[in-house]
Amino acid sequence: MPFETDNLATDGREAIDADYLDYLLQRQDDDARRYRRLWEYFRNPLRPVAGISARAANAASRPYVEAQESGLPARITGVRRVGSREEVPDLRRKEVVIENDIGWRIQTMIDFLFPRCPTLRSLAGEEPLAETIEQVLGVLLDANGGVRLLQELALFGAVYGFVDVALRTPADAAETALAAAKSADSPSPPASSDATAHRPGTPSPQARRRAMEAAASLRLEPIEAPRVVPVLDEDDYSRVRLWVQKYHKHPPRMDRSLRRRLPLPWTTKTSEAPAEVEVVEVLSPTWWQRYEDRRLVAEGPNPLNRLPVVHVQNLSLPASYAGLSDVEPMVPLQDELNTRLSDRAHRVTYQSFKMYLGKGIDDFLERPVGPGQMWATENLEAGIEEFGSDADAPGETAHIEQVREALDKVSGVTPLAAGLIRGNVGHLTSATALKVVLGGLLARTARKRLTYGEGLARLAELALAWLDRRGVLRTRPEDRRIEVHWPSPLPTDEAEQLRNAQIKARLGVPRERILTELGYDDHTEQTERTNT
């Protein structure tokens, strides 16, 4: 069934062609494979030996294979990959060594970017309204996981290069789609008597409580890159005309329409496959649709009159929807590291023990080799030569170290950032020394804070706009601006922080700013003391 795009026209332009939308969804499969490969290099999951891998296995094989083995040459894995096909050449599988240097580097980046939740400060002009907005945004983040949500955003962004966050309101559920459409057609409910009894910008305690309850019902859903199909404006790549996501869900039932014969020629039994439904969600600034197996199941007006999606690039990349991935540049170096580690393991296996060559000695192979064992022969030219044992390979060791250093430079993450101290790195007794040693990672973290901070500000503005549309918390566009205060990524001395805070207080720095730098939320503490 073709897509129904008549209601998706925006800005006075004609609706997108249904065949073009279908073409984009088909092309998304190629992009999804590339994104899944990046995820597999980060995660490096274990898989049981089966199919092609089972035929290539031998006595030296383990009962599993790892995802990063796809980047190793056939002389090591015993499997040759040609495009999407796998072949088993006349090669013996050797020792496969995988050291996932990508995984711990990505986790370290996330720990530095979001060690804890940043503080969101409202820039609203009226102080009571600013306090309410900050409390509402705090409830919104806490209801969606807090720092866990932020670290999930950072993980998707680091692996794929970007992450999209969809704002899901209570009316977005499929079972209430018709009710949502009807409520969107009707005018917004008037503000309550509690809210109108106060001047604008001064919400009453009851209105503040309702605003926090409404914020807790909102859901921030991170959307991974393999699902996203953006339709960009043909005249401005930075504008998204339509936002589409495609994924598959698995209802808890078997699909009897997909009966198939078992691969046995002597039986007529059939098996049932689990049900799988393709879901396509199309969002425009004025309308939304949901398709299941290309059949329209729900649609309705968009009450926000804007896309309820915030796009966040991991690292800014001009003229591109996707940003820069942290995983992608490390993939070739990871393959080279795994190849050299596997070669070294193969060499060590065959050279780590001594072997003996006996000449002119009868029954040499049947005699044991050990202390006190003697061989006797009348052959004057007989002899025993010893060879083998692991030999030093300085070139191999240097090459492996150089590959690791290249990974450090490409990622900006050194082993020191993960707590591994090798060699003499000096006396790291101050924050300044740590900043010098971790300069690359700190600079990369600062660049990410620009993009993720802007994304958090747009998420907050989007949620406040929805609350204003519903009449729960009345705000003006200028009241929805926020300022993000980031915690320090470096370990700090609390006593030194308190001394610096006292000095700033004597210099006249506002108390609220000092508490923010220390990681305290003054407004929340005052509210808690008032409630108690």
What are the φ and ψ backbone dihedral angles of 496, each rounded to 5 degrees? -65, -35
Banded pLDDT at 266 (limits 50, 70, 90): very low
Report for 160-164, 250-254, 363-367, 439-443: range of highest mean pLDDT: 160-164
389 or 465: which leads in pLDDT: 465
Share of the chain above pLDDT 70, in %: 79
Mean pLDDT of all residues in 101-117 = 93
What are the φ and ψ backbone dihedral angles of 480, each rounded to 5 degrees? -90, 5
Structure confidence at residue 358 (pLDDT): 81
Cβ distance 310 to 462 under 8 Å?
A: yes
Question: What's the structural domain count of the chain?
Answer: 1
Kindly tell me if the per-residue pLDDT of 170 is higher than 50. Answer: yes
Q: pTM value?
A: 0.81
Structure confidence at residue 414 (pLDDT): 86
Report how far residue 138's alpha carbon sits from residue 350's, in angstroms, rounded to the nearest whole number. 61
The residue ranges of DSSP E strands in 324-476, in sequence order, are 354-359, 383-388
Within a domain: 128: no
Within a domain: 425: no
pLDDT in tens, 13-55: 778 888 999 999 999 888 999 999 999 999 999 888 766 566 6
Buried b (16+ CB within 10 A) or exposed e, 359-398: eeeeebeeeeeeeeeeeeeeeeeeeeeeeeeeeeeeeeee
Within a domain: 463: no
Within a domain: 261: no
Q: Give the residue from 134, 242, 221 showing the smallest Cα distance to 480.
A: 134
Whole-angstrom CA distances from 531 to 208, 339, 435, 444, 520 are 13, 62, 42, 42, 18
Structure confidence at residue 61 (pLDDT): 67
Tokens 């009226």 sit at which residue? Answer: 126
Within a domain: 81: yes
pLDDT in tens, 200-211: 557 788 888 999
pLDDT in tens, 47-104: 887 665 666 666 566 778 889 988 999 888 877 776 666 666 667 778 889 999 999 9
Within a domain: 297: no
Structure confidence at residue 264 (pLDDT): 47
Report for 241-245, 250-254, 420-424, 522-526: range of highest mean pLDDT: 241-245
Kindly tell me if the per-residue pLDDT of 389 is higher than 70. Answer: no
Structure confidence at residue 194 (pLDDT): 39
Banded pLDDT at 463 (limits 50, 70, 90): very high
Banded pLDDT at 5 (limits 50, 70, 90): confident
**Least confidently predicted of 364-368, 441-445, 470-474:** 364-368
Structure confidence at residue 519 (pLDDT): 67
Write out the residue range of the structural domain in which residue 70 sits: 45-97
Banded pLDDT at 388 (limits 50, 70, 90): low
Reduced to 3 states, what is the DSSP secondary structure of residue 86? strand
Within a domain: 334: no
Report how far residue 59's alpha carbon sits from residue 44's, in angstroms, rounded to the nearest whole number. 23
Banded pLDDT at 462 (limits 50, 70, 90): very high
Instruction: Compute the residue count for the chain.
Output: 532
The residue ranges of DSSP E strands in 106-236, in sequence order, are 119-122, 162-168, 219-223, 228-232
Q: Give the residue from 379, 462, 368, 496 showing the smallest Cα distance to 137.
A: 462
60 or 141: which leads in pLDDT: 141
Structure confidence at residue 213 (pLDDT): 92
Structure confidence at residue 273 (pLDDT): 76
Banded pLDDT at 351 (limits 50, 70, 90): confident
Banded pLDDT at 248 (limits 50, 70, 90): very high
Within a domain: 150: no
Over its C-alpha atoms, the chain yields an Rg (Å, rounded) of 31
User: Whole-number mean pLDDT of the chain?
Assistant: 81
